[in-house]
Amino acid sequence: MGTFRLLEHTTDMGIEATGESPAQLFTAAAEGLRAVLSDLPPRPCSDWREVAVAGEDFEELLINWLNIILYRLEVDGLFPEQFRIEAISPTHLTGRIGGVLLDGTIPPPDREVKAATWHQLEVVQQGGRWRARLYLDL
């Protein structure tokens, strides 16, 4: 089971995520991003988008994964609620983002996240668990 906690930053916000596998880790990090975007409790998904991202290593993959969630939010209006990682390697991820479409009838996000940054970015495996730390630009 993956978990996350939000990290304090003077201007922005950070996420520390953990999981027993890379898939759990990436799911937990995405859930951390969702918690930054809105203070509302999770809502049932009405729409899903398939995504595929690539990177040179788990660190780049994590940044690209979180930033494609933000891209889908901005371009499709898909507010992310649930995440399914279907396949993951250090260089590739395929999965699905479930969410609700921002059609004017549901509250918009509480915060605009510009991007997941590379500042102090870390993805490590320690004692059988995976841990990641990153900061978001708000």
Which positions touch another protein (CB under 8 A)? 6, 8-13, 39, 59-60, 63, 67, 71, 74-75, 77, 102, 107-112, 114-115, 117-121, 135, 137-138
CA-based diameter of the chain, in Å?
46
Helix (H, G, I), strand (E, B) or coil at 110: coil
Compute the least distance from the CB of residue 76 to another protein, in Å: 10
The residue among 1 and 75 lying less far from another protein, judged by its C-beta, is 75
**What is the distance between the alpha carbons of residues 138 and 136, in angstroms, rounded to a whole number?**
6
Compute the least distance from the CB of residue 81 to another protein, in Å: 16
**What is the distance between the alpha carbons of residues 85 and 56, in angstroms, rounded to a whole number?**
18
Compute the least distance from the CB of residue 58 to another protein, in Å: 13
Compute the least distance from the CB of residue 49 to another protein, in Å: 14
The residue among 20 and 112 lying less far from another protein, judged by its C-beta, is 112
* DSSP assignment of 3-67: EEEEEE-SSSEEEEEEESSHHHHHHHHHHHHHHHH--SPP----EEEEEEEE-SSHHHHHHHHHH
The residue among 12 and 131 lying less far from another protein, judged by its C-beta, is 12
The residue among 16 and 137 lying less far from another protein, judged by its C-beta, is 137
